[in-house]
Amino acid sequence: MYSKINKTKDGNFQHLCGSSIITSSFSITAAHCIQEKYSPYRRGSDDIFLIANVLDLKDLSSTINIDIQEVVTHSDWNPEVKKFDGDIALLKFKEPTIFDGNILPICLWNGSDEMQSIANGKIITFIALEEDDPGYYNYQHDLPNNYPKEYNMPIRNSCTETQKRFTSIATDNTFCAGGLNSGACLETGSSGSSMAVEYNQTYYLRGIVSASFIDFAGCDNYTYTLFTDVLKYQDWITNIIN
């Protein structure tokens, strides 16, 4: 599932973010997809185009458009500071979504701390994961694939010990994944996408893509991706959807 935010007059979409349905009336995404860092503009429900069942970005004939009634960002999200604390938002639908074989919600974790010990997560995105090549500028690094791709990413509870620059954006409510030559570093367009972990043959929402450091060559596979730790926001999510 993908959300396309801020549609222009010519029909194009300026901002592409991921979003995942969690109930028949709500989906979840990153708060910076609603209000970007250092921007005064906050997108409202009329600015957001939520599209479900996207299998090909060039063929949207089988997709389902979901109208948004309300946008709720976490109160800790502060676009005026560098850290990505509270980078989580909920989108409330005008009408409940009907689940079928193509559209299903991702499960929220309601169990013990066992999920914390799961070492790998899966993420589906339309953005290609690229290896770093400092010999050229990668003009294509932020262009999407036509079809969704699935990637496995090793979870790192902390990335600040090996890459100090993450201390400027990481908080106690974030974790990192990928990096260390894993071949997985997420870039522009993957924001808001969900990381899922498998537990007892069921996939649960573990994190939401927040940020990566992008250099002149694009996203290198030694660089981690920062995720919002959804487990830290379970009570907030439950209070909103109930």
What is the DSSP pairing of strand 202-212 with strand 194-199? antiparallel
- Which helix H or strand E contains 48, and what residues bound it? strand 48-52
pLDDT at 228: 96
> Are 126 and 214 within one domain?
yes
Q: What is the chain's length?
A: 242
Domain count, the chain: 2
> Are 60 and 165 within one domain?
no
> Are 130 and 212 within one domain?
yes
Measure the CA–CA gap between 196 and 173, rounded to whole angstroms: 17
What is the DSSP pairing of strand 20-23 with strand 68-73? unpaired
Q: Per the structure block, which two tokens stand in for 20?
A: 């995942």
pLDDT at 17: 86
> Are 24 and 83 within one domain?
yes
pLDDT at 125: 76
Instruction: Look up residue 91 and give its DSSP letter.
Output: E
> Are 42 and 16 within one domain?
yes
pLDDT at 3: 41
> Are 36 and 60 within one domain?
yes
Sequential pLDDT tens for the chain (242 residues): 344 444 444 445 556 788 999 999 999 999 999 999 999 989 999 888 888 887 777 777 888 889 999 999 999 999 999 999 999 999 999 999 989 888 889 999 876 677 778 889 998 877 655 444 333 334 344 455 677 778 888 888 778 887 888 899 999 999 988 876 555 556 555 789 999 999 888 999 999 999 887 654 555 556 788 999 999 999 999 999 98
> Are 117 and 208 within one domain?
yes
> Are 63 and 92 within one domain?
yes
CA-based end-to-end distance of the chain: 23
pLDDT at 76: 97
> Are 118 and 220 within one domain?
yes
pLDDT at 52: 87
- The domain in which residue 221 lies consists of 113-230
Give the CATH number, domain containing residue 95.
Answer: 2.40.10.10
> Are 63 and 151 within one domain?
no
Measure the CA–CA gap between 131 and 55, rounded to whole angstroms: 25
pLDDT at 94: 96
pLDDT at 23: 96
- Give which of 223, 108, 234 is closest to 169, Cα–Cα: 223
